[in-house]
Amino acid sequence: MAQPVHPDSVPCPPDRLIAWGRACLQAVGVDETDAASVARSLVQTNLWGIDSHGIARLPHYLNRITRGSIKARPQIAVTPTGPSTAQVDGDQGLGIVVSHRANRVAIALARTSGIGAVGVADSSHCGAVGLYARDAAREGLIGMAFTHSDKIAAPHGGHVPFLGTNPIAMAFPREGGEPVCLDMATTPIPWNRVMNARREGHPLPEDVAVDATGAPTTDAHAAAALRPLGGLEYGHKGYGLALVVELLCGPLNGNLWGPQIGPMYAELTRPRHIGAFFIVLDPMRFAGGPAFAATLEQIARSLAAQPGEVLMPGDPELAEERRRRAVGVPIEPGLRDEMRAWSERLKVPSPL
Amino acid sequence: MAQPVHPDSVPCPPDRLIAWGRACLQAVGVDETDAASVARSLVQTNLWGIDSHGIARLPHYLNRITRGSIKARPQIAVTPTGPSTAQVDGDQGLGIVVSHRANRVAIALARTSGIGAVGVADSSHCGAVGLYARDAAREGLIGMAFTHSDKIAAPHGGHVPFLGTNPIAMAFPREGGEPVCLDMATTPIPWNRVMNARREGHPLPEDVAVDATGAPTTDAHAAAALRPLGGLEYGHKGYGLALVVELLCGPLNGNLWGPQIGPMYAELTRPRHIGAFFIVLDPMRFAGGPAFAATLEQIARSLAAQPGEVLMPGDPELAEERRRRAVGVPIEPGLRDEMRAWSERLKVPSPL
């Protein structure tokens, strides 16, 4: 689902943003291929309308690289651990670089043995997990991707942050079109919506946040934790999903978990030891495999014909991508300032 | 989470219920091993407090076996399709029998190659998916289980039923105790809560159901569809999860999907061609594997120490099991009548 956009944003052509991101990353020591991959991934995410995981995260990556908590040139190690599994050690590299690498391994394992599972240790923020799941689905496979983050969400029954927004992505090949991709946080809203509401003086929706005492609040300034998906009544489900993601990404790979994970925007010299997890499945190993993509298209048509307005997961992102490819990616004022400051610091021409 | 119990229920010792269920299944032609497995699985689910998937479903199974749409003695076929995958054809057998078999195959594949994925075709209602995920986790593995059902939930943006309550179970080994198990429908409430509310004249909770025109309703008699988890605002997430489960269980295995699936309690002579999907993962193939169960126990303690009352997924079921092992399984009046009728019909002594 497209996120709200700041009214004073100015549009920037995606190619110019990618070139800028690549140049900045190269300026802090990232090699050309990795720099291009990260810049493309971030701007692709902007095109989908998910600005929280787009080019706005680049200043954070640059910051951490220059402070030493993300390595510009990590020694990423892939250790096969069986016919269908591998462990990737990210060596505190850029999460997007490490995750693309791990996802490629999962794709290769799925081809040879039907399913591949790859865990990632010692990585960092990996951007939108939909990037990876969609990559697998574009090759006719079923992609699943998970990651975790520092504490933002209270567990169900509690009110102190413990888990991240721990997202889940699952993508499936669809005949004649882009993959169907569910890419969802396990909280109702992302934390950046709270930050935006603070800045712009908006109230929060009902039943998504609590204050420091645990009381429900719509006051963004008072919000101390997000509730999990499902809110007060059914939040045990969103909390359960977030915990499951935490277990797959954190403890299973020997990473930090929950409150152990350092904050994203503080302690910038401390590596975050964040994990991710990728499962890729080959539909051709199952009875419905040969017809799968066609059946999915049939289901999509059947859903589109329902009363109301029913979309497939990922359709809003694809519609937004078509729009933004024409009009450009909106860059909000705060980000514009950050981008100009980095341009100056790194002697890279500003795209704005 | 334990479900509401009818106030006029009477308790029955679990062993007596199991013996009755086994005898009834044998009386309609199911072999001794399968009959015992199904009866044990249903009563285990009652012990967890999930009465919607407990012994109350046995009359339904007996009904379909006697009408020919579930086979008492199916020829279940397991076809290996690669080092880590298999397809199981359930031959329209009892879903619990077929699913235990498929889950055992996934467990064996996980041991040999690190992860196993097994799809199930041509099966029937498989009971609580937590049964299978927990079985894997009790052996030190990570279990995932999915199934689908006939249409009950409206897709997000629509108001006509299209998908089932499509549940997800994931279970993890925990040191010194039973597995941690998330077992959740992708709707806020199950349909049987609507049926109970109709019978007992209670209103429904807010934001869980819509009437035939798509308007939100708390009137159980007017409810025509459930909303997905997340309700009006965030239901795209619950809908996305339900759809993902549908794709893994239905089209991937060549089964029926969504509105194609026959109703559970009607068209009793028509096989339902329902699927399921099992993924089992061996933690020992990942860097955190050796410490995994101990770390999970540490996380559980850390969560239990949070302000408020924070439980691990599956803890409420384990607490209910301890209670019900002592006081018995509550059998509500309607079920009691059904059980007595089947006892008489099959010449099996009633447990009540």
Backbone angles phi, psi at B175, to 5 degrees: -60, 130
Q: What is the pLDDT of residues B217-271, one digit of tens each?
A: 999 999 999 999 999 999 999 999 999 999 999 999 999 999 999 998 889 999 9
> Would B295 be classed as within a structural domain?
no
Nearest alpha carbon to residue A100 among A130, A59, A62: A130
CB contact at 8 A, B328 and B11:
yes
Burial status of residue B60 (CB atoms within 10 A of its CB: 0-12, 13-18, 19 or more): middle
CATH code at position B343: 1.10.1530.10
Pair (A172, A222) in one structural domain: no
pLDDT of residue A38: 98
Taking an 8 Å cut-off on Cβ atoms, the answer to whether B119 and A214 are in contact is no
Quick one: tokens of B27? Answer: 């009386």
Strand-pairing partners, residue B27, are none
**How far is the C-alpha of A279 from the C-alpha of A133, rounded, in Å?**
9
Taking an 8 Å cut-off on Cβ atoms, the answer to whether B114 and A155 are in contact is no
pLDDT of residue B1: 54
**What is the mean predicted confidence (pLDDT) over A85-94?**
98
Q: What is the pLDDT of residues B256-302, one digit of tens each?
A: 999 999 998 889 999 999 999 999 999 999 999 999 999 999 999 99
> Would B169 be classed as within a structural domain?
yes
pLDDT of residue A265: 85
Q: What is the pLDDT of residues A299-315, one digit of tens each?
A: 999 999 999 999 999 99
pLDDT of residue A264: 86
The residue behind tokens 């489900």 is A237
> Would B299 be classed as within a structural domain?
no
Is the minimum CB–CB distance between B244 and chain A shorter than 8 Å?
A: yes
Contacts of residue B315, defined as CB under 8 A and 6 or more positions apart, other chains included, come to none
CB contact at 8 A, B258 and B162:
yes
Rounded to 5°, the CA angle A92-A93-A95 comes to 105
CB contact at 8 A, B109 and B115:
yes
**How far is the C-alpha of B117 from the C-alpha of B84, rounded, in Å?**
6
Does the pLDDT of residue A350 top 80, yes or no?
yes
Taking an 8 Å cut-off on Cβ atoms, the answer to whether B184 and A240 are in contact is yes
Contacts of residue A269, defined as CB under 8 A and 6 or more positions apart, other chains included, come to A67, A68, A69
Is the minimum CB–CB distance between B266 and chain A shorter than 8 Å?
A: no
Of B155, B159, B292, the CB nearest to A303: B155
> Would A352 be classed as within a structural domain?
no
pLDDT of residue B6: 83
Q: What is the pLDDT of residues B10-34, one digit of tens each?
A: 999 999 999 999 999 999 999 999 9
Searching chain A, which residue's CA lies closest to the CA of residue B250?
Answer: A288
CB pairs under 8 A between A and B: 255
Structural domain boundaries enclosing A197: 190-226
Searching chain A, which residue's CA lies closest to the CA of residue B144?
Answer: A244
Q: What is the pLDDT of residues A313-326, one digit of tens each?
A: 999 999 999 999 99
Q: What is the pLDDT of residues B72-130, one digit of tens each?
A: 999 999 999 999 999 999 999 999 999 999 999 999 999 999 999 999 999 999 999 99
As for how many domains chain A has, the answer is: 2
Does the pLDDT of residue A151 top 80, yes or no?
yes
Pair (B172, B257) in one structural domain: yes
Q: Any idea what DSSP says for residue B313?
A: T
> Would B154 be classed as within a structural domain?
yes
CATH code at position A211: 3.30.60.50
pLDDT of residue A301: 98
pLDDT of residue B190: 87
Half-sphere exposure of B262 (CA within 13 A, CB side): 17
B200 compared with B227, residue with greater pLDDT: B227
Contacts of residue B254, defined as CB under 8 A and 6 or more positions apart, other chains included, come to A286, A287, A288, A291, B121
pTM beyond 0.80: the answer is yes
**How far is the C-alpha of B190 from the C-alpha of A234, rounded, in Å?**
12
Searching chain A, which residue's CA lies closest to the CA of residue B252?
Answer: A288
Pair (B99, B198) in one structural domain: no
Taking an 8 Å cut-off on Cβ atoms, the answer to whether B119 and A310 are in contact is no
What's the whole-number average pLDDT of chain A?
A: 96
Taking residue B112's Cβ as centre, other Cβ atoms within 10 Å add up to 13
Pair (B114, B61) in one structural domain: no
Is the minimum CB–CB distance between A82 and chain B shorter than 8 Å?
A: yes
Of the residues B142, B252, B260, the best mutation for testing chain A's interface (the one with the most A CB atoms within 10 Å of its CB) is B252
Bridge-based pairing of strands A168-172 and A180-184 is: antiparallel
Pair (A205, A94) in one structural domain: no
pLDDT of residue B222: 97
B190 compared with A260, residue with greater pLDDT: A260
Of the residues B299, B302, B311, the best mutation for testing chain A's interface (the one with the most A CB atoms within 10 Å of its CB) is B299
Task: Decide: helix, strand or coil at residue B216.
Answer: strand
Nearest alpha carbon to residue B317 among B51, B100, B119: B51
Pair (B38, B101) in one structural domain: no
Task: Decide: helix, strand or coil at residue A98.
Answer: helix
Using a CB-CB cut-off of 8 Å, the residues of chain A touching B114 are: 81-85, 117
Taking an 8 Å cut-off on Cβ atoms, the answer to whether A119 and B257 are in contact is no
Crossing angle (nearest 10°) for helices A58-67 and A14-27: 0
pLDDT of residue A236: 97
Q: What is the pLDDT of residues B37-81, one digit of tens each?
A: 999 999 999 999 999 899 999 999 999 999 999 999 999 999 999
The alpha-carbon gap from A305 to the nearest alpha carbon of chain B, in Å, equals 10
Which of A246-255, B263-272, B336-345 has the least mean pLDDT? B263-272
Domain boundary among A204, A226, A248: A226
Taking an 8 Å cut-off on Cβ atoms, the answer to whether B252 and A313 are in contact is no
Which residues of B carry out catalysis?
Answer: 125
Is the minimum CB–CB distance between A309 and chain B shorter than 8 Å?
A: yes
Residue B274: its H or E element: strand B274-281
Which of A62-71, B14-23, B201-210 has the least mean pLDDT? B201-210
> Would B315 be classed as within a structural domain?
no
User: Which B positions 277-306 lie with beta carbon below 8 A of chain A?
Assistant: 279, 281-283, 285-289, 291-292, 295-296, 299, 302-303, 306
pLDDT of residue A200: 78
Q: What is the pLDDT of residues B137-159, one digit of tens each?
A: 999 999 999 999 999 999 999 99
Taking an 8 Å cut-off on Cβ atoms, the answer to whether A234 and B188 are in contact is yes
Pair (A248, A336) in one structural domain: yes
Quick one: tokens of A266? Answer: 């503080």
**What is the mean predicted confidence (pLDDT) over B307-325?**
97
Nearest alpha carbon to residue A99 among A280, A230, A264: A280
Taking an 8 Å cut-off on Cβ atoms, the answer to whether B85 and A114 are in contact is yes
Pair (A209, A269) in one structural domain: no
Quick one: tokens of B173? Answer: 């080994």
Using a CB-CB cut-off of 8 Å, the residues of chain A touching B279 are: 115, 279
Q: Any idea what DSSP says for residue B92?
A: T
CB contact at 8 A, A141 and A278:
no
CB contact at 8 A, B179 and B172:
yes
CATH code at position B85: 3.30.1370.60
Start-to-end Cα distance in chain B? 26
CB contact at 8 A, A244 and B180:
no
pLDDT of residue B4: 76
Taking an 8 Å cut-off on Cβ atoms, the answer to whether A82 and B253 are in contact is no
Pair (A138, A201) in one structural domain: no
**How far is the C-alpha of B173 from the C-alpha of B319, rounded, in Å?**
18
Which of A10-24, A255-269, A278-292, B127-141 has the least mean pLDDT? A255-269
Is the minimum CB–CB distance between B80 and chain A shorter than 8 Å?
A: no
Is the minimum CB–CB distance between B123 and chain A shorter than 8 Å?
A: no
> Would B292 be classed as within a structural domain?
no
**pLDDT class for A3, splitting at 50, 70, 90?**
confident
The residue behind tokens 């140049």 is A23
Pair (B118, B266) in one structural domain: yes
> Would A2 be classed as within a structural domain?
no
pLDDT of residue B2: 62
Pair (A129, A38) in one structural domain: yes
Pair (A222, A289) in one structural domain: no
Burial status of residue A352 (CB atoms within 10 A of its CB: 0-12, 13-18, 19 or more): middle
